[in-house]
Structure 1
Amino acid sequence: MTPAARISAAIEVLADLIERRRPASDALKDWGLSRRFAGSKDRAAIASLVYDALRRKASSTFVMGAETPRALVLGMLARVRGMTLEDIAALFSGENHAPEPLESEEVDSLVSLSLAGAPDWARADVPEWLWPAFAAGFGTDAVAEGEALAGRAPIDIRTNRLKTTREALSIELAHAAPEPGPWSPDALRFHPGPDGRGPSLQSEAAFFGGGFEIQDEGSQLVTLLAGAAPGQTVIDLCAGAGGKTLALAALMENQGRLFATDLDARRLAPLHERLARSGASIVEIRIPRSRGHEPLADIEGQADLVLVDAPCTGSGTWRRNPDAKWRVRPGALAERVKDQAQVLARAARLVKPDGRIAYITCSVLADENDAAITAFLTRNSGFAAIPVPEVLASQQGDFGPLVRFATTHGVQFSPRRTGTDGFYLACVQRLN
C-alpha cells in the first residue's frame, strides 16, 4: 500500500470505531481481516496513524474546526507527525486510493494550526466531562500533564531477578538499543521509531526464557515500593494476568507465600504460562468458584502485605490506550470508586495486625486515589496511612527524590513527572 492509501485506510478505521464506539484494536482487526492484501507493515502503519490521531482528538478537532475522521487525521499529520502543508497536500491527491484533495477551509486550518481560545480540556486532550476531576489532581499543571499523556509511550521491560540481571540482559538485547530506566533498578527502556513501532521484544530468546516481562516502569516502581520481602505472606488481590504477581515473586526471592487471585477468573488464565516461564515457585493461584465466594477465607488476617491493584478508569495509561479515554463514559468514574471501596474492604479483612495494604491504581484522578484512601481511613479507624518518605525508604535505592510527587496519602507518578505511565501508590498499616 502507498502512504496515501494507508491514510485513507486510517480514516476508514476511525470512522468505524467512532460510529460504533468500539475499541481501536477491534476496528483495526476487522479492517485487516476484510482486506487480505494489506501486509503486516501496512497494518502496523495504519494502526500507528489511527492511534496518533486519537491521541490528539480534542485539540485536532478544535484546530481543524471539525470532528470528522478526516479532520482528526489532518490535524495529526500536521501537529504530531510535523508534516508540511505541501507534504500533506501531496498525499491527499484523490488518486490511486488517496484521500480527496484538501478543501480551502482545511488548508487555512493547516496553515494556522491555532489553539488560541481553546478550552483547557481540548488543549490537554482530555474528555470535557472528565476535566474537573483531572484538573483537581494537577492544578495549574493540568494542561501540561494532559499533553504528556497524549504522547507516545516507550516500551519498558522488567528484568526478572530470578533469572538474570539488568546488566546481563542489557548486553543480550544490545542490538535493540536499550537504556536503563530512570527509577526502577530492574527496568530497561526502548523508544519507538518515527512510525510509532518499537522492537519485537516478545520474539527474543530472553523473553521465552523468562529473563524479562514487558511492564511499564511505573508499574514496576509501585510494586517495588509496596514493600514485599522474602519470607512474607503476600496477596495480589487483583492479579489479572499477573504482571505484578511475577514482580512480587522476584522481590521475595521465591521465599514465602504469594497468593494471586482476581474476581474475574478469566483474567488469571495467562498467569499459568507466565509463571512457568518466570521460574516463580511460590505463587498459589486462588480462583473464585462463584460470585461472592472468597477464595482466601482460610488466610484472613494473616497477610503481611495485600497488594490492591484496584480497578480504575485507566487514565494513567492513555499513552498506550489513546482510544480508551474517548470511550469512557460519564458515570464510569463513580462505578470505579464503588469498586475500589469494596476491594479495600476485602483487603482489610486479609491483612494481619502491623501488616500493610498497598493501594495502587493506574489513574491520575484524585477521586480514585487520595479520595479513596481518605474514605477508607474514615471507615476503618484501625488503619493509618504510612508516610510517603517511609514508603520510599522501605526499599534499597535512591527513591528519595520521588517525595516531591507526594499527595495527601500517597505518591502520584505521570509521564510528565517521572516518564512513566500514571500510577498512584498509597500504603496503609493495620494498627490492631
Structure 2
Amino acid sequence: MNSAARLQATLDLLTDVERTARPVDAVTSSFFRSRRFIDEQDRGAMLELLYALLRHQARLGWWLARLGHADSPRAQLLAWLILGQGRSPSNVARQFDGAKFAPAPLSDAERALLAGLRNHTIEHPEMPDAVRLECPDWAMAPLRQRFGGAFAKEMAATLTPPPLDLRVNPIRASRAEVLKGLHKLGLEAEATALSPNGIRLPERLSLARLPGLKTGEIEIQDEGSQLVALLVDAQPGERVVDFCAGAGGKTLALAAQMNNRGHLVACDVNESRLKRCAERLRKAGLHNAETRLLASETDKWVKRRKGGFDRVLVDAPCSGTGTWRRNPDARWRAPELGLEALIALQSRILASAARLVKPGGRLVYATCSLLPEENEAQVAAFLAANPAFRVVPLAEAAPNLTGLTPAEYLSLTPARHDTDGFFAAVLQRADQAPESA
C-alpha cells in the first residue's frame, strides 16, 4: 500500500470512528477484519496516524474554525498533515490527487485551508486551556479541583501515547522467563517499576508478535490495573468476588493470586463480557473461578450470599477519565448516564456489594477515574453510612508493594506514575456478626 492509499484508508477508518458511538478499539478491529488485505506494516502506520488525530481533535477543530473551514474527518487529516507532520501544501496536494486508492483531489477551499495553515504548528498562544489540553467542558472543573496547579501537567500526560503493559500469569510462567523470551524476539521489554508481575514494552506493536497471549502466559493489562488487583490480596483457599468483572482483566489476576485454589466469582450485568471472561480464564489455565450474570447491582444472588466472602472487589463503572491516554476518543464521550447519575449508580453498587463481605473481610473499591466525586468522596459517603467498615492504609493493605507514596488510598496518574489513572480504597469490615437484612 503506497502512502496515498494509506491516507485514504486512514480517512475511511477515522470516518467510521466518528460516526459510531462504539469505542475506537472495537471500530478498528471490525475495520481490519473486513480488510484482511491490509498488512501488518500498513495497519501499524494507520493506527499511529489515527491515534494522533484523536489526541489532537480539539486543537485541529480550533484551527479549522479559526480559518472558517468546516470540521470533518478529511479536514482534520489535511490539517494534521500540515500542523502535526510539517508537510508542505504542495506535498499534501500530490497525495490527494484522485489516483486509484488515493484521496480525492483537493477543492479550492481545501487549498486555501492548507495555505492558511502553512508555517504553523498545532499549538497557538490564543488557544484556550480547554482546547490546548484537549479537556472536555464537563470534566474541566472537577479535574482542576483534583489537580490544582498540576492540572496542565496531568492533562498533557493524558495526550502522550501509552506504553504496552503486560501481566505475567504465574500459573504458566515467571516474569524472568517471559522477559527472556521477549528479548529473544528482539523486543525492548523491561520489568515494570511498581507491579511485581508486570512487563512494559515502550510502544504499540502487532499482538501477533506476542505468542504468550495465545498460550495464556501473559495478558495485556496496564500496570495501574495490576496494582488494583494486587490490593485485593486474594489468598489461596479464600472465597472472593469480582463484582464488576467485565471481560475479566482483574479476575484473571485474582485467580492467579489464589494459585487456582479457593473460589472466585466473576459477576457482571453484561452476558457477552462474562463469556469473554470465561474464555480467558480457560486459556490461562485458571479453573478456580465461575461467572455469575446479575440482573442488577441488587440481584437476589447478593442477598443470598450475604457475609459469605473474604474479599470483594468493586471495579465500578466510571467516567473513564483515567484511561484518556489509552482511549483518546473516550474524553469526548460524556458519561452516558450523566455524571450525577453515574455517581449514584456507583454508590448503589458499592452498598450492595458490601453485603457480601464477611466479618473481618475486605472490600476494595476502585475506578479508572481521576475525578474526586467518583473516588474519595464516594468512599467518604460509604463510610459515613457503613460504620462497620474502616479504611486500610496502603502500607497495611499492601506492605510488599514498593515505590508508592504512603497514603490512605491508591491514587495513580499518568504524569506521576506513567500508568493509567486509577483509584482504589481498601476497606475492612469489623470482626463481628453480619448485620441483619
| AA in 1 matched with 2:6 | R
Contact 2:163–2:200 (CA<8 Å) still a contact in 1?
yes
> C-alpha distance in 1, partners of 2:418/2:173?
25
Measure how far apart 1:148 and its partner are: 1.3
The equivalent position to 1:155 in structure 2, one of 164, 170, 174, is: 164
More displaced, 374-383 or 29-38?
29-38
Q: Does 1:380 align with 2:390?
A: no
**Secondary structure of 2:219's match?**
strand
Equivalent residue number for residue 55 of structure 2: 55
Equivalent residue number for residue 248 of structure 2: 242
**Secondary structure of 2:119's match?**
helix
Equivalent residue number for residue 251 of structure 1: 257
Q: Does 1:428 align with 2:427?
A: yes
Residue 142 to residue 160, structure 1, CA distance change in 2 (3 Å): same
| AA in 2 matched with 1:357 | L
> C-alpha distance in 2, partners of 1:225/1:187?
15
Equivalent residue number for residue 111 of structure 2: 103
Equivalent residue number for residue 168 of structure 1: 177
Equivalent residue number for residue 73 of structure 1: 77
Q: Does 1:398 align with 2:406?
A: no
Equivalent residue number for residue 184 of structure 1: 195
> C-alpha distance in 1, partners of 2:31/2:279?
30
Q: 1:302-341, aligned counterparts within 5 Å?
A: 302-328=308-334, 332-341=338-347
Contact 1:240–1:267 (CA<8 Å) still a contact in 2?
yes
The equivalent position to 1:268 in structure 2, one of 261, 264, 274, is: 274
Equivalent residue number for residue 205 of structure 2: 198
> C-alpha distance in 2, partners of 1:277/1:33?
22
Equivalent residue number for residue 409 of structure 2: 410
Residue 201 to residue 187, structure 1, CA distance change in 2 (3 Å): farther
> C-alpha distance in 1, partners of 2:23/2:182?
32
Equivalent residue number for residue 91 of structure 2: 90
> C-alpha distance in 2, partners of 1:225/1:291?
23
Deviations 1:337-393 (A, max 9, x none): 122111101121111122221111111111211121122122222222222333342
| AA in 2 matched with 1:92 | A
Contact 2:303–2:355 (CA<8 Å) still a contact in 1?
no
Query: Can you give the 5+ residue segments of structure 2 that lack an aligned partner in the other structure?
Result: 433-437
Q: Does 1:127 align with 2:136?
A: yes
> C-alpha distance in 2, partners of 1:165/1:152?
28
Identity %: 36
| AA in 2 matched with 1:169 | V
CA RMSD after TM alignment: 2.8
Deviations 1:316-337 (A, max 9, x none): 1122222122133575322321
More displaced, 416-425 or 37-46?
37-46
> C-alpha distance in 2, partners of 1:304/1:36?
47
Measure how far apart 1:230 and its partner are: 2.7
TM-score, length of structure 2 as denominator length: 0.86
**Secondary structure of 1:143's match?**
helix
> C-alpha distance in 1, partners of 2:342/2:296?
21
**Secondary structure of 1:111's match?**
coil
Deviations 1:174-205 (A, max 9, x none): 1123111111111111122xxxx41425750x
Equivalent residue number for residue 435 of structure 2: none
More displaced, 11-20 or 354-363?
11-20
The equivalent position to 1:136 in structure 2, one of 139, 145, 155, is: 145
Q: Does 1:363 align with 2:372?
A: no
Deviations 1:43-85 (A, max 9, x none): 44333322220111112323453643244324544565xx223
Contact 1:85–1:111 (CA<8 Å) still a contact in 2?
no
Contact 2:410–2:424 (CA<8 Å) still a contact in 1?
yes
Residue 212 to residue 79, structure 1, CA distance change in 2 (3 Å): farther
Measure how far apart 1:240 and its partner are: 1.4
More displaced, 154-163 or 294-303?
294-303
Deviations 1:99-158 (A, max 9, x none): 655634534434232431322221211212221122222222122212211221211111
